């Protein structure tokens, strides 16, 4: 993506940058000179969303496989949606595994909500 001057934009995405990609509406944000790579990423993201809405499963015949979620730390994956979309190991799973007891305990969830956001 460029800003129209053919200068590359900084690597950080702006807030809500995924919306145009997810909805397949890149041209709705004209300040950017969208590339074919952007259009490919948008088509992939849009197809995953549509598949979830239609079938409750992001996978489709021509889509890169999005593995099912797992509570097994050895099986937690991260879907990287890029020009070369792929599933990779997820090195940050430890940040989320601590939440598992909260998901299955009303008392734990209520305590977490009372405690507020974590600063760690």
pLDDT at 38: 92
Band of the pLDDT at 75, cuts 50, 70, 90?
A: confident
What lies within 8 Å, CB to CB, of 38 at 6+ separation is 1, 21, 26
**Phi, psi of 2, rounded to the nearest 5 degrees:** -125, 170
Has residue 77 got a pLDDT over 50?
Answer: yes
**SS3 of residue 8 by DSSP:** strand
pLDDT at 120: 47
Percent residues over pLDDT 90 in the chain: 33
Higher pLDDT, 72 or 99: 72
The two tokens of residue 104 are 């299955």
Count of residues for the chain?
120
pLDDT at 52: 93
- Dump the DSSP string for 23-90: HT-GGGSTTSB--HHHHHHHHHHHHHHHHHHHHS----TTSPP-PPP-SSTTT-EEEE-STT-EEEE-
Mean pLDDT of the chain: 78
Q: Give dist(CA 120, CA 106) in Å, integer.
A: 23
Has residue 85 got a pLDDT over 80?
Answer: yes
């Amino acid at each position: 993506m460029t800003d129209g001057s053919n200068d590359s934009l900084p690597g950080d995405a702006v807030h809500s940058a995924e919306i145009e990609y997810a909805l397949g509406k890149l041209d709705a944000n004209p300040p950017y000179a969208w590339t074919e790579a952007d259009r490919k990423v948008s088509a992939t993201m849009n197809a995953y969303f549509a598949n979830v809405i239609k079938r409750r499963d992001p996978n489709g015949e021509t889509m890169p496989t999005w593995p099912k979620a797992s509570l097994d730390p050895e099986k937690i994956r991260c879907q990287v949606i890029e020009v070369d979309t792929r599933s990779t190991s997820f090195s940050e799973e430890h940040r989320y595994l601590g939440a598992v007891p909260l998901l299955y305990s009303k008392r734990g969830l209520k305590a977490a909500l009372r405690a507020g956001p974590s600063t760690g």
